Structure 1
Amino acid sequence: MSARSEPGPWTWPVTMGWEDVCTGLSPVGTRGDLVGYTRRLWAWRHFIWEDARARALASQRGTVLGNTWLVVRPMLDASVFFVVFGLLLDTSSGIDNYVAYLIIGVTLFQPMQRAVTAGSQVMVSGRNLLRSFSFPRAALPLSFTVRGAIDLLPPLAAVAVLIILLPPHAAPGWTWLLTVPVFVLQQALCLGLTLVAACLTTALPDLRNLWGFATRFWYFASGVFFSFETILGSSQALALVELNPGYLVLRLYRTCLLDGQVPSLRLWALLAVWSLGLSAVGYVLFWWREESYGRER
């Protein structure tokens, strides 16, 4: 019998070189091709959902009123705008149901604002997770968007109840069902905004100081508390305003909920182009910079 013993399971073979050790290993965070990346991301769909569900409705944990603040805070904001712009500056002229108009604007614009400001920090806040194990990095913006959609459901339900109860009382109708596709397009828009903002902020961290100013300007330019239809006399100027996706979202919600009408096909098409187009562009841009996330700067 030979005295030479075979290597055990934990024995390092003497003849093994670094080339043999590294065979079959691949760098963490590589993006691969777009189709393969999308397949990997789909395989992580359960993680995306569970992560979003676990974090949803959690922003007010530790407070006395808890998730009630998700509804109360937009209502308080609407009250401030009602006093300042509705009573003092009289921007309510020409709007039949200004209270409901204002509640819809203040409550339903905030998710898009948050998609930029908070969404831009998704990769920064998840940096430890990025360095721990390999997974498609777009899972984090997707989880953030799903979480935002869940967080919006209670305020959206509160909006529907309030515009029924508060005078002059909006009457529910079948057009209220059209808020479902509006909601879906809004979340697609939020996803695109988050992907673009997160990607750009990772490349240029100074942008996190500018997103707040940009979204504040967008807020005032989207007709949250006044009506462009009343202020602008020119149809050409109004057509230019309708290129603003924030205005489009609020316009479609208000048309369905307050006017009881079906929004024009042009408005649907414009919002669909913005939502789907920005999501697609943001996704490709995010995938293109996949390898840069989680690096030390």
Structure 2
Amino acid sequence: MRRRSRIQSALADVGTADFDAVDVARLKPVGQRPSLGRYVAALWGRRYFIWADARARAFSGNRDTILGRFWLVGRPILDGLMFYVIFGVILGTSNGVPNYIGFLLIGVFMFSFTGRALTGGSTVMVGGKTLIRAFSFPRAAIPLGLVIREAISMFPVVLTMMAMILLIPPHANVTWRWALFPLVFVLQVLFNAGLVLYAARLTNAIPDMRMLMSFFSGLWRYGSGVMFSLDRFITHPTVLEILQLNPAYCALELSRELLLYGTTPDLKLWLTLAAWAVFTPIFGFLYFWQAEEEYGRE
């Protein structure tokens, strides 16, 4: 009886209690896309986390293998050796190319940077779904973290490439133009950032596109003059000019001119790569932001 009376008393107190009204108009759906300004501000506020996470993961991609970090450098070296045998020796594309070994090494090492950005961007949102569902944060932090991670992991790769073109005959010579190479690298990083943002949203919307990214990366490699000089095989001037607008081609040619041949690159190469490096990340960021509400959904 006492228990029943206590329950009745509690119900009576609830019936007479005052409740504050909730302003429903101030409530917002979880995961709703914020304005562009607020989105950028939120992303900037998490810059230290993005940097720390990217730095921690930079060399962890091959941790389940015996040689571990060696494969960051070992894979491009093996690719370069394979391409040298096939294209340089068997097909004879090395004819007429000064220092073909250095030409090929720069092509393979530097293109691998952009190739990994493309294929990594195609799977980055799938790998981040657990994080997306657990926390509220700007989703662009995930692909941008990948870009930073790949850029950090490229430092030993670039140093190895430089050492190889200096040590393997015919040797390259260090000139003042080597000081301009970091600018090429920065422009390539910016272009890769836009590429990753485009690939991340596109493959999140159309998962089947992930199956095509490796194919497209291989096709892109052949159209960028990684293993051979384009002007030797492309005789039509209009087609050659279109292919030379390729940002990967511009990055490779600038790197070769500066590091291998010690010459000042054509201004057109600089302007073309700079245009790609400015507009690709801007439009890629806007393209990614517009689908902010879609990431993490089943």
TM-score, with structure 1 as normaliser:
0.91
State whether residues 120 and 146 of structure 2, in contact with CA within 8 Å, keep that contact through their aligned partners in structure 1: no
1:103 corresponds to which of 98, 102, 105: 105
Q: Indicate yes or no: 2:26 matched with 1:27.
A: no
Pairing 1:237-276 to 2, within 5 Å after superposition: 237-276=239-278
Residue 185 of structure 2 corresponds to residue 183 of structure 1: yes
Once residues 155 and 281 of structure 2 are traced to their aligned partners in structure 1, the CA distance between those partners, rounded to angstroms, is 21
Distance in 1 of aligned mates of 2:144 and 2:120: 13
Deviations 1:28-85 (A, max 9, x none): 2222111121111111101110110111011121433221221121111100110111
2:97 maps to amino acid: I
Q: For 1:257 and 1:181, how far apart are their aligned partners in 2?
A: 13
What letter matches 2:67 in structure 1?
A: L
8 A contact 1:78–1:102 mirrored in 2: yes
Q: Does 1:70 align with 2:72?
A: yes
Q: Tell me if 1:61 matches 2:63.
A: yes
Instruction: Give, as a single letter, the amino acid of the residue that structure 2 aligns with 1:222.
Output: S
Compute the displacement of 1:114 (Å).
1.4
How many aligned positions are there? 285
Shift of 1:273: 0.9
Amino acid of the structure 2 residue aligned with 1:61:
R
Say which is worse superposed, 278-287 or 257-266, in terms of deviation: 257-266
Q: Counterpart amino acid of 2:242?
A: L
Note if contact 2:111-2:221 (Cα within 8 Å) is conserved in structure 1.
Answer: yes
Q: In 2, are the aligned partners of 1:122 and 1:198 still within 8 Å (CA)? A: yes
Partner of 1:4: none
Deviation at 1:128, TM superposition (A): 0.8
Taking the aligned partners of 1:138 and 1:35, their CA distance within structure 2 comes to: 14
Q: Does the 8 Å contact 2:80/2:105 carry over to 1?
A: yes
Residues of 2 paired with 1:112 and 1:28: CA distance? 34
Distance 1:215 1:69 in 2: 19
Q: Is the 8 A contact 1:71 1:155 kept in 2?
A: yes
In the alignment, the residues of structure 2 paired with residue 77 and residue 134 of structure 1 have an alpha-carbon distance, to the nearest angstrom, of 41
Confirm or deny that 1:93 pairs with 2:95.
yes
2:162 maps to 1:132:
no
> Cα RMSD over matched residues?
2.0
- What are the Cα deviations for residues 99-145 of structure 1, in whole angstroms up to 9, with x where unaligned? 11111111110121111112111111100100111101100011000
Q: Does 1:218 align with 2:205?
A: no
| Residue in 1 that maps onto 2:147 | 145
Question: Over residues 154-208 of structure 1, what are the superposed CA-to-partner deviations in whole Å (9 max), with x where a residue is unaligned?
Answer: 1100000000000000011111111101000101111111000100111111111
Deviates more, 1:236-245 or 1:91-100: 236-245
Counterpart in the other structure of 2:124? 122
Quote the Cα distance in structure 1 between the aligned partners of 2:17 and 2:78. Answer: 72
User: Does structure 2 retain, via aligned residues, the 8 Å contact 1:196–1:285?
Assistant: yes
Q: What is the alpha-carbon distance in structure 2 between the residues aligned to residue 190 and residue 276 of structure 1?
A: 11
Q: State the alpha-carbon separation in 2 of the partners of residues 236 and 202 from structure 1.
A: 35
Q: Distance in 2 between matches of 1:63 and 1:288?
A: 38
1:196 aligns with 2:207: no
1:84 aligns with 2:94: no
Structure 2: how far apart are the matches of 1:218 and 1:80? 18
SS of the residue corresponding to residue 69 of structure 2 reads helix
Q: Distance in 1 between matches of 2:49 and 2:24?
A: 29
Deviates more, 1:55-64 or 1:78-87: 55-64
CA distance in 2, matches of 1:216, 1:159: 21
Counterpart AA for 1:40: A
Matching residue's letter, 1:217 = L
- Residue 163 of structure 2, aligned match among 161, 164, 182: 161
1:16–1:114 CA distance, 2 compared to 1 (3 A):
farther
Contact 1:29 1:136 in 2 (8 A): no
Contact 1:189 1:279 in 2 (8 A): yes
SS in 2 for 1:189: helix
Equivalent AA in structure 1 for residue 167 of structure 2 = L
- The answer to whether the 8 A contact 2:190-2:281 is kept is yes
Q: Distance in 2 between matches of 1:276 and 1:108?
A: 19
